[in-house]
Amino acid sequence: MTVVAITGATGTIGAAVCRALVGRGDKVVALSRNAERSQAVLGNEVTTFGWPEPTSTPPPAQALAGADAVIHLLGEPIAQRWTESARQRIRDSRVLSTRMLVAALRALPDNERPAVLVSQSATGYYGPCDDRPLDEQAPAGTDFLAQVVTDWENEALAAADLTRVVSARTGVVLSPSGGALAKMLPPFKLGIGGPVAGGRQYVSWIHLDDEAAALLFCVDHADAQGPVNLTAPNPVDNAELSRALGRALHRPAVLPVPGFALGLLYGEMGKIVTTGQRVLPHRLLELGFEFRQPAIEPALRAVLS
């Protein structure tokens, strides 16, 4: 039995990871701002500890001591208008919480320290790109989100002298209960969905089940280290994503959404939809990970079922 401590356990990804770990017989320890509320959400099979101020105080040592692994998933949602205060929350929730977590790991005795830290990251690391395939060796971008992700990863890598560190660069997670797909569904269900800003920008996506499985794969495999792209092996452009979603919903997907409309709605944040990256999971495939949902249309049908 593996003991895994998780931050962000009640989020879309975190809850899926908890279910996967419990399902295979592992012990899950969740760190949460509100331990009682998280316990109610996650159930009695998960042990919860409070971490009310993750950007300014380390998590409780007893939640980490003796764990085999830590999966760090904390982060303010990206999909919001990037006001100055939102930018600060987006950055601090990732960078400072990771700094506090690493400080707690450093304070543990060697024999009680987890053997691996799998720290959430994002394909936003690469910044807006054209259709060039990007593996883990591609350079970082220079926009706001790329800078946040770079700083985020650097905080996790500060633990490299203590434990094995994986930076899990996650793409667009397909889930019916949150994230990008949940925002796309209403107009598509009404038959008024379609490609955004011309539709030629790539979307590096991953099914929620594969996201959870890949995170566990990184925990289990000692050769997983450094940056690992968590994206399906077949990224698609926005136009193909729209067509596949329309077919899965049995709705037309022909009404284009102009880029300026997203700019009016989301401001600068809209750029992450009107631009994209063609990210490939080179390291996962090299290590032998097998995707359950490698193709977009079956993945969408599975999510929507």
Residue 12 or 193, more confident: 12
- pLDDT of amino acid 199: 80
- Phi first, then psi: give them for residue 169, nearest 5 degrees: -80, 95
Q: What six digits make up the tokens of 180? A: 């990008």
In this model, does residue 74 exceed pLDDT 50? yes
Q: What is the mean pLDDT of residues 179-189?
A: 74
In this predicted structure, which of 78-82, 148-152, 166-170 has the lowest mean pLDDT? 78-82
Chain mean pLDDT for the chain: 91
Using CA atoms, how far residue 175 sits from 48, 124, 183, 269, 304, in Å, is: 24, 19, 11, 20, 8
Q: What six digits make up the tokens of 161? A: 């002298």
- pLDDT of amino acid 292: 98
The alpha-helical segments, DSSP class H, found in the chain are: 12-23, 35-42, 61-64, 84-107, 144-157, 179-189, 208-220, 238-249, 259-266, 271-274, 282-287, 296-304
Burial of 92 (0-12, 13-18, 19+ CB in 10 A): middle
Per-domain boundaries in the chain: 3-172+206-231
SS3 at position 81: coil
Per-residue confidence at 264, pLDDT binned at 50, 70, 90? very low
* Architecture in CATH for domain 3-172+206-231: 3-Layer(aba) Sandwich (3.40)
- pLDDT digit string, tens, across residues 55-71: 999 999 999 999 999 99
Q: What is the pTM of this model?
A: 0.94
Q: What is the mean pLDDT of residues 194-219?
A: 91
Answer whether 20's CB lies under 8 Å from 216's CB.
yes
- With a pLDDT cut of 90, the percent of the chain lying above it is 76
Measured distance CA(49)–CA(264) in Å, rounded: 41
- pLDDT of amino acid 267: 63
In this model, does residue 12 exceed pLDDT 60? yes
Tally Cβ neighbours within 10 Å of residue 79: 14
Q: What six digits make up the tokens of 164? A: 């094995």
- pLDDT of amino acid 196: 72
- pLDDT digit string, tens, across residues 76-121: 998 888 899 999 999 999 999 999 999 999 999 999 999 999 999 9
Q: What is the mean pLDDT of residues 36-54?
A: 94
Q: What is the mean pLDDT of residues 248-262?
A: 67
Taking each helix axis from N to C end, the angle separating 208-220 and 12-23, rounded to the nearest 10 degrees, works out to: 60
Q: What is the mean pLDDT of residues 164-186?
A: 86
Tally Cβ neighbours within 10 Å of residue 250: 8
Closest CA to 4 of 219, 156, 168: 219
